Structure 1
Amino acid sequence: MTRRQKRFGTARAALTLLTALSALAGTAVVGAAPAGAAQGTPVGPGVSYDEFDIAAAKGTAHAHVLTVDLRNPRVRLDLLHPGAVAARATISEQAGAQGAVAGVNGDFFNISEVQHPGVQATGASVGPAIARGTALKGAVPTGQRFGPALPPGTTTEDVFGLGVDRRARLDDLSLDGSIRTPEGRLPLRGFNQYALPVGSIGAFTAQWGSVSRVRATCGTDTDRAAPCSTDTYEVTVRRGRVVSTADTPGSGPIAPDTTVLVGREAGAQQLRKFYAGERVTVRHRLVASKSRVPFRFALGGYPVLDDGQPLPGLDNRASAVRTAVGIADNGRRLLLLALDGAPEYRTGLTIAEVASVMRELGSVDAFSLDGGGSSTLVARAPGAGAVSVRNHPSDGVERPVPNGIGVFSAR
């Protein structure tokens, strides 16, 4: 389908076309008309909810979909998060705390550390994150990612987000940072990340939270299970001056006027040259490779549909419960999809099927988010004051996650 999607006058006409397209792709949308084709149940101005079955290769999947009209001035999107990068909460808790009328779970995250006994899993997300126009974190090295294998050509820097122009888009965000001292300038290779590149220095701010920073020095750029580095160093900078140093990364809250620099290998050796009272300036920003429009919010995952075409090499074997977001109408309409994790639907979809379904629903670009037990869609019922979970999470209860996409709608 092209960027100029046709609008059909009735749900019946739309469903007929979508079913025909599905048959060609190996999936079939059945039951109620998809959210992109019909009104659905209103959640708030510019936001509606629908659910329907999908006949997939390994069985029937059940989809829950939010349609968001960004042309409506009462609608906005932002990052749902629990207040710190290294923290988790359920999507219903995050939506309730921030006043969202609907939302879905977001990025993959550092969920466990079985390979590193004694090291605390941080709960921090894999990719970059921006909330309310403020950068929260950068992307970990691709080899340190938690989650299924990425499609060819994609990295942990890939993001879905919304620009200050109120248009949704896919892009990638890289970290541009430096550490300036009287002796010269050093590259900054990490920002509130649970994993730093080998031989690098990363910065941690108050946005990180209080979780231990040791995990940042474990694994390598190609193997997240590799042992933790034995050559580490930490420098605390407050109001532009070094105030303390340590041989190992620490934990605990970081004050708003403080930056903690963590180095491993060559980075640790560079930090050992710092001394108490030394002037240090730390600079960091996230830079988009395509759009010049600043992001209001962004989060990580990976693209599955680009300009109406599935990405080459998408997996068509492993089926699972999934969450995804689709972009239609030149960034002015969104489709947020989460599959049901009830036992009768748990076979789910392959990533190739997700791309097909998102295209059938009218998406031109689409982005996969964390799935499995993380897949959650929440929305307010008509007349309700709080969101409720609309799908059945496959864990049986909501899983705490680090972030999500929040939909806000003024009544």
Structure 2
Amino acid sequence: MNTYIRPIYTFARSRSLFFFLCVLCNLCGQTLAQDFKTVHDGIEYAKVSKEIGGLNVNIDLLRLDLKKVRLDVHHAMDAAIGTEKTSSIAMRHGAAAAINAGFFRLDTSIFAGDAAGTLMIDGDLLSESRDSRSAILIANAPGATRVVLANLDIWANMHMGRFSYPLNGVNRERKDNEFVLYTPEFGRSTLTSSGTEYIVRRGRIVKISYSGSSPIPADGFVLSAGDKWNDDPYKRLKVTNPSRIVLRRGFDNNAGDFVAEDITNGVSQLISGSQVSLTWEKEKSNKAFAETRHPRTAVAKLNDGKFLMITVDGRSESSGGISLQDLAEYLLSLGAVDAMNLDGGGSTTMFLDGKVVNTPSDKEGERKIGDAILVTLRKKPPAKSKK
């Protein structure tokens, strides 16, 4: 229905109305600012309950000054597989705050907790990328932490002399037709049942096994080829081969030359350049995932330079969850410049000062997850002595 404004509104009255609306908007912004309470130098926390899309939602927010805190990705049990509660990971590492992070394999197998996309910790690649999905890239410099949100592809190759062979995966269950790398972070052995496995130490093949489940050397790695993986390495990879084996990786992304220490995965991008930008279709997710009101975990870079972590509770009478579109629009209203969605649903967890502050949706309570982003206070430099 079109709205018709009668000409009885004079310029003066219109100007007054405009002024009133401006004041109202400013008050709304001030109210939002007042919701945040400083809990540590560099960490502000807010709990908000509001109606979005006709349902009430409970929202927990952490607003961080990246000059005063650092961000680190940690996997459950400090390994490449396995699961652990967000709160447990945070407490083990002495974090002030944390949220659950990347998507992961959620089942009862021995591979539970395997990242369902990129995972890199302290520069070590623990899991390969998947479907050019969204990722958060973190670098902790001495003066401040830098964060980039980007769509990411990682490739990894094994080089031996003039020969190069692409790897199908890193630290995960290997299929019969795949060539997979296993590093010490995966565990004591490859957990395979068959195939040809090349145990490498200091760049040299020290043993070839044909029975699977090879031990992974602490100072090396294992290259595992499935029985149906037919490629030239069968002919060239030998214990007596003089060529050194070198692993190389590369990044195809929109993050420029940014060098990250830690990376974890998400689906999907929410905001790019201060505009709503949902990429779930490009990232091969589905409409139900995007549009259903799920519990959500997300991160955002704000226009004032601060960094935001957010959880939205769902699947309860008190909090109805949120779609990706509504989540993006809400983050935009908070001043988000770039934002991405992390693992949600029953995984959604926010930890602060020794306790979980949101309400996880699983009936058992907090869920064990694959990896988390931890917030740690930076140590203040010592005061300069007076002369």
Both structures adopt the same fold (TM-score exceeding 0.5): yes
Answer with 1 or 2: which has the greater Rg: 2
Aligned match for 1:390, one of 357, 376, 382: 357
CA–CA separation in structure 1 for the residues paired with 2:230 and 2:346: 38
Distance 1:249 1:58, change over 3 A: farther
Matches within 5 A, 1:357-396: 357-380=330-353, 387-395=354-362, 396=364
Per-residue deviation, 1:377: 0.1
Match of 2:219 in 1: 257
Per-residue deviation, 1:313: 6.5
CA–CA separation in structure 1 for the residues paired with 2:85 and 2:248: 29
Question: In 1, are the aligned partners of 2:46 and 2:61 still within 8 Å (CA)?
Answer: yes
Distance 1:317 1:130, change over 3 A: closer
CA–CA separation in structure 1 for the residues paired with 2:174 and 2:332: 34
Match of 2:9 in 1: none
Question: In 2, are the aligned partners of 1:342 and 1:392 still within 8 Å (CA)?
Answer: no
Match of 2:167 in 1: 188
Question: In 1, are the aligned partners of 2:57 and 2:319 still within 8 Å (CA)?
Answer: yes
1:121 equivalent to 2:121? Answer no
The 10-residue stretch of structure 1 (278-287 or 296-305) with the greater mean CA deviation from structure 2: 278-287
Letter in 2 for 1:340: D
1:159 equivalent to 2:135? Answer yes
CA–CA separation in structure 2 for the residues paired with 1:361 and 1:106: 21
CA–CA separation in structure 2 for the residues paired with 1:249 and 1:57: 53
Match of 1:179 in 2: 158
Question: How many residues get paired?
Answer: 340
Per-residue deviation, 1:167: 2.5
Match of 1:400 in 2: 368
Deviations along 1:16-64, one digit per CA (max 9) or x if unpaired, are: 259xxxxxxxxxxxxxx54xx3462223111011111131225211001
Match of 2:328 in 1: 355
User: Runs of 5+ in structure 1 lacking a partner?
Assistant: 1-10, 19-32, 114-118, 143-154, 216-229, 381-386
The 10-residue stretch of structure 1 (315-324 or 358-367) with the greater mean CA deviation from structure 2: 315-324
CA–CA separation in structure 2 for the residues paired with 1:361 and 1:295: 26
Match of 1:240 in 2: 203
Match of 1:323 in 2: 297
Deviations along 1:225-279, one digit per CA (max 9) or x if unpaired, are: xxxxx9x432221222223334464266x22212111224664544433223434
Q: CA RMSD in A?
A: 3.0
CA–CA separation in structure 1 for the residues paired with 2:161 and 2:340: 44
Matches within 5 A, 1:38-117: 38=34, 40-57=36-53, 59-70=55-66, 72=67, 74-81=68-75, 82-112=77-107
State the identity %.
Answer: 24
- Which secondary structure state, in structure 2, belongs to the residue aligned with residue 112 of structure 1? coil
Deviations along 1:50-87, one digit per CA (max 9) or x if unpaired, are: 111131225211001100011x3x31111132311112
Question: In 1, are the aligned partners of 2:160 and 2:246 still within 8 Å (CA)?
Answer: no
Letter in 2 for 1:201: F
Per-residue deviation, 1:286: 4.6
User: Runs of 5+ in structure 2 lacking a partner?
Assistant: 1-22, 281-286, 380-387
Question: In 1, are the aligned partners of 2:52 and 2:326 still within 8 Å (CA)?
Answer: yes
1:207 equivalent to 2:179? Answer no
Question: In 2, are the aligned partners of 1:262 and 1:268 still within 8 Å (CA)?
Answer: no
